[in-house]
Amino acid sequence: MDMVLRFEGVDKSPDDPDPWVTKVRKGTLRRVLAYFRPHVGKVALFCLVAVLESLIVVATPLLLKELIDNGIVKNDLGVVILMAGLTAVLAVLGAGLTMVSGYISGRIGEGITYDLRVQALGHVRRLPIAFFTRTQTGVLVGRLHTELIMAQQHFTGLLMAATSVVMVVVVLAELIYLSWIVAIVSLVLIPIFLVPWIRVGRAIQRRSIRLMDANTGLGGLLQERFNVQGAMLSKLFGRPAEEMAEYEERAGEIRKIGVSLSVWGRMAFVMMALMASLATALVYGIGGGLVLAGAFELGTLVAIATLLQRLFGPITQLSGMQELAQTVVVSFSRVFELLDLKPLIQERPDAIALKKKVVPDVEFEHVSFRYPTADEVSLASLEHLRAERERSEVTPDVLRDVSFHAQAGTLTALVGPSGAGKSTITHLVSRLYDPNGGTVRLGGHDLRDLTFESLREAVGVVSQDAYLFHDTIRENLLYARPTATEDELMEACKGAQIRDLIDSLPLGLDTVTGDRGYRMSGGEKQRLAIARLLLKEPSIVVLDEATAHLDSESEAAVQRALKTALHGRTSLVIAHRLSTIREADQILVIDGGRVRERGTHDELLAQGGLYAELYHTQFANPAANDPKPEIEDELDDIEPEPVIQHMGYGG
Ligand SMILES: Nc1ncnc2c1ncn2[C@@H]1O[C@H](COP(=O)(O)OP(=O)(O)OP(=O)(O)O)[C@@H](O)[C@H]1O
């Protein structure tokens, strides 16, 4: 416990700042130890092997004493051969036991890291989307992966070093047995040496954390810049010289900390070696005098000298243990930080499942919402650029008193300026966020009363920039329904108007989509996303129509696909296309987080309000002024049509 408290007190200096985030909390050590519980049997076996190893180590000097005093000095070859043989046998046995203890410590270390990793992954998976919107992906991956590997390595090293404790105790006991004077001298020297070592240990610990942070930070930056979108932005807008300079600066920082860590580590080693040499010289001086005075025999001095080598070796390891233990505790505490983040959105223990096969209605009742603050959803250490003042800054309300009712099986179109809150409304329907006030209901149930599983099954989402995994088309589709047969996959592709494309590809469904689907066009990706939706068969569809102009063929295909996707479902569509808006059972005009107007296309036009104004502004725009604004209902005749770019407000 002391150790943990000491970490908290690590001094900060301008040139050697603490990492600004990781705090090792009181109780962390106890928490780390709790992970040992399932591995108690292996730990006991490990201790037993450690004791056996120590006994072998201390038996060797006794054999040497016997060999010298009763063999060489008394000229007895039999004793010499027997003792030498026994020493060799013990050496082989000791080597075998060291291998066994290495295996067991590996099993314990890996086992504990496995438990922690699985727990952390499960927890992060449950965190709300707000966490992921704030977190730098690479840094999160670093925390869950690289840092855990480091923790595991240090942890296994720590277990190995733990055998030193047993060794030191046994060696000291034998020293006392052989000569209490020499034992006392050794005992006095150890604390004198360990005091300066504590300072060295702290310096090493500070640098280890900074190194971990710097490595994770660079990893995060690389992940961001080297994914397809990042690489594209960088190629189009990037300033290679400046970017390279940034990489160099970060890599240079890592080099600087690494060199400093290496120097401090070497200093620790030198201190230990010096201590061992000085102590050995001292003991030989005192012991030699005692042999000359006839206080003990030559064999005893050699045994003591041998033992001392065995004592300072484990002490060196023990001192390294402090650094290792600190690093392990810090590494664990970085994962604990994540585990301690309470998911803002949780399933109630008594949550009920939404009825299957029944298409529910969607109702918003006086809903207000603001996006959560940084402190509510994420960790500063995972957002490398988060400003201190932003942490608890309350964000403004994005939705204010929003009420509407989307009848089961109908189409509701959301229109309005960019930033009005349309996407936010759709996020609340799939419970990516909970409202701060009011209620969102599906089929008459408050969303917060429903099980996650039934909600996931009921609501299907197609976003503007449909995300595809870097995998085959088949795997991307099966993600929605792993049990789907080949026929069902092809049927869904047909419904989504993507079948012809797939048939034309040499590898068909086994074509790889590329990172984030970058090898598919915008329209193709959206149709694949629709196929995925059709396989999922949700009763509610949340859709963000593409704003980008598609060519006439893609346009018509997407619209046909949508027609299939929305049929018989309750749909909430962020609409950009006139045909969708005209077909909607109700249009909600969202502005400034409120529902300003509602009604059908004709009703709203007749009202002559905001919708009418925006509609006319849009179509007064020559670029968007299609010669045939009247879209025929017969989908086969669909022509490219005006895209309502957020009703004239841009975006
Ligand atoms: N994760 C977030 N955290 C904080 N604020 C957000 C977040 N997402 C959106 N906002 C803010 O909420 C407001 C509403 O955004 P929303 O995405 O709902 O608008 P929208 O009407 O869908 O706009 P667009 O048509 O441009 O997509 C905006 O001011 C936006 O900046």
Cα of 431 vs centre of ligand 1, distance in Å, is: 16
Please tell me what DSSP assigns to residue 479. Answer: T
Residue type, 597: E
Same domain, residue pair 441 and 477: yes
Residue 201, pLDDT > 70, answer: yes
Same domain, residue pair 334 and 366: no
> Would 468 be classed as within a structural domain?
yes
Q: What does the pLDDT average to over 507-528?
A: 77
420 lines ligand 1 (CB under 6 A): yes
Q: How many CB atoms lie within 10 A of CB 341?
A: 18
Same domain, residue pair 323 and 453: no
Which is it for strands 459-462 and 362-370: parallel, antiparallel or unpaired?
unpaired
Residue 380, pLDDT > 50, answer: yes
CA gap 495, 532 in Å, rounded: 10
Band of residue 450 on the pLDDT scale cut at 50, 70, 90: very high
Identify the residue whose C-alpha is closest to ligand 1 atom 19: 419
Cα of 400 vs centre of ligand 1, distance in Å, is: 14
Q: Given this model, what pLDDT does residue 551 score?
A: 59
Collapsed DSSP state (helix, strand, coil) of residue 397: strand
Q: Given this model, what pLDDT does residue 640 score?
A: 43
Band of residue 407 on the pLDDT scale cut at 50, 70, 90: very high
pLDDT over 70, % of the chain: 85
> Would 115 be classed as within a structural domain?
yes
Q: Which CATH number characterizes residue 530's domain?
A: 3.40.50.300
Lowest average pLDDT, out of 353-367, 427-441, 572-586, goes to 572-586
> Would 34 be classed as within a structural domain?
yes
Identify the residue whose C-alpha is closest to ligand 1 atom 30: 419
Q: Given this model, what pLDDT does residue 633 score?
A: 39
CA gap 636, 627 in Å, rounded: 18
Identify the residue whose C-alpha is closest to ligand 1 atom 9: 424
Residues constituting the chain: 651
Residue 581, pLDDT > 70, answer: yes
Band of residue 426 on the pLDDT scale cut at 50, 70, 90: very high
589 lines ligand 1 (CB under 6 A): no
Residue type, 504: S
Residue 549, pLDDT > 80, answer: no
Same domain, residue pair 295 and 378: no
Cα of 420 vs centre of ligand 1, distance in Å, is: 7
424 lines ligand 1 (CB under 6 A): yes
Same domain, residue pair 158 and 266: yes
> Would 356 be classed as within a structural domain?
no
Q: What are phi and psi of 71, to 5 degrees?
A: -100, -70
Q: Which CATH number characterizes residue 150's domain?
A: 1.20.1560.10
- Structure confidence by residue, pLDDT tens digits, 612-651: 887 877 644 534 434 333 333 333 444 444 444 444 333 2
Q: Given this model, what pLDDT does residue 389 score?
A: 55
Please tell me what DSSP assigns to residue 264. Answer: H
Q: What tokens does 613 get?
A: 């104004």
- Highest-scoring range by mean pLDDT, 378-387, 424-433, 456-465, 529-538: 424-433
- Highest-scoring range by mean pLDDT, 255-259, 392-396, 530-534, 633-637: 255-259
Same domain, residue pair 334 and 468: no
- DSSP assignment of 201-233 equals HHHHHHHHHHHHHHHHHHHHHHHHHHSHHHHHH
> Would 410 be classed as within a structural domain?
yes
Residue 339, pLDDT > 80, answer: yes
Please tell me what DSSP assigns to residue 16. Answer: B
Identify the residue whose C-alpha is closest to ligand 1 atom 18: 421
Identify the residue whose C-alpha is closest to ligand 1 atom 12: 398
Nearest to 131 by CA among 276, 272, 341, 418: 341
- Highest-scoring range by mean pLDDT, 6-15, 41-50, 163-172: 41-50
418 lines ligand 1 (CB under 6 A): yes
Same domain, residue pair 319 and 376: no
Residue 165, pLDDT > 60, answer: yes
Band of residue 332 on the pLDDT scale cut at 50, 70, 90: confident
Q: Give the DSSP H/E element, type plus range, for residue 362.
A: strand 362-370
Last residue of a domain, one of 339, 374, 405: 339
- Of residues 465 and 4, more confidence is placed in 465
Same domain, residue pair 309 and 366: no
Residue type, 256: K
Band of residue 2 on the pLDDT scale cut at 50, 70, 90: very low
CA gap 343, 362 in Å, rounded: 25
Same domain, residue pair 429 and 550: yes
SS3 readout for 512-552: ECCHHHCCCCHHHHHHHHHHHHHHHCCCEEEEECCCCCCCH
Same domain, residue pair 509 and 541: yes
561 and 497 in contact (C-beta within 8 Å)?
Answer: yes
- DSSP assignment of 134-175 equals HS-HHHHHIIIIIHHHHHHHHHHHHHHHHHHHHHHHHHHHHH
Q: Given this model, what pLDDT does residue 550 score?
A: 55
Q: Given this model, what pLDDT does residue 518 score?
A: 61
Cα of 436 vs centre of ligand 1, distance in Å, is: 16
395 lines ligand 1 (CB under 6 A): yes
Band of residue 323 on the pLDDT scale cut at 50, 70, 90: low
- Of residues 440 and 506, more confidence is placed in 440
133 lines ligand 1 (CB under 6 A): yes
Residue 8, pLDDT > 60, answer: no
Residue whose CB lies within 8 A of the most ligand 1 atoms, among 367, 371, 415, for a mutation test: 371
Q: What tokens does 350 get?
A: 């008594």
Residue whose CB lies within 8 A of the most ligand 1 atoms, among 131, 386, 394, 422, for a mutation test: 422
Residues 6+ away with beta carbon under 8 Å from 382? 134, 135, 136, 139, 140, 143
pLDDT over 90, % of the chain: 22
Residues 6+ away with beta carbon under 8 Å from 346? none
Q: Given this model, what pLDDT does residue 338 score?
A: 84
> Following CA atoms 62, 64, 70, 74 in sequence, which dihedral angle do they give, to the nearest 10 degrees?
-160
584 lines ligand 1 (CB under 6 A): no
Nearest to 448 by CA among 468, 433, 466, 465: 433
Identify the residue whose C-alpha is closest to ligand 1 atom 28: 419
Residues 6+ away with beta carbon under 8 Å from 491? none
CA gap 154, 536 in Å, rounded: 45
Please tell me what DSSP assigns to residue 587. Answer: E
Identify the residue whose C-alpha is closest to ligand 1 atom 24: 418
Lowest average pLDDT, out of 143-147, 326-330, 618-622, 635-639, goes to 635-639
422 lines ligand 1 (CB under 6 A): yes
Q: What tokens does 637 get?
A: 């005749």
> pTM of this prediction?
0.70
Q: Given this model, what pLDDT does residue 169 score?
A: 87
Same domain, residue pair 148 and 56: yes
Lowest average pLDDT, out of 42-46, 210-214, 361-365, goes to 210-214
Which is it for strands 570-574 and 411-415: parallel, antiparallel or unpaired?
parallel
> Would 249 be classed as within a structural domain?
yes
> Would 352 be classed as within a structural domain?
no
- ipTM entry: 0.96
Nearest to 569 by CA among 478, 447, 442: 442
Lowest average pLDDT, out of 3-12, 413-422, 445-454, 623-632, goes to 3-12
- 430 CA to centre of own chain: 24
CA gap 9, 7 in Å, rounded: 5
427 lines ligand 1 (CB under 6 A): no
Residue 185, pLDDT > 60, answer: yes
651 lines ligand 1 (CB under 6 A): yes
Provide the residue range defining the domain that includes 265: 23-339
> Would 391 be classed as within a structural domain?
no
Q: What is the mean pLDDT of the chain?
A: 80
Residue type, 520: M
- Of residues 96 and 246, more confidence is placed in 96
Band of residue 96 on the pLDDT scale cut at 50, 70, 90: very high
Number of domains in the chain: 2
Band of residue 499 on the pLDDT scale cut at 50, 70, 90: confident
Cα of 418 vs centre of ligand 1, distance in Å, is: 8
Collapsed DSSP state (helix, strand, coil) of residue 196: helix
Q: Given this model, what pLDDT does residue 626 score?
A: 42
Residue 205, pLDDT > 70, answer: yes
Same domain, residue pair 335 and 366: no
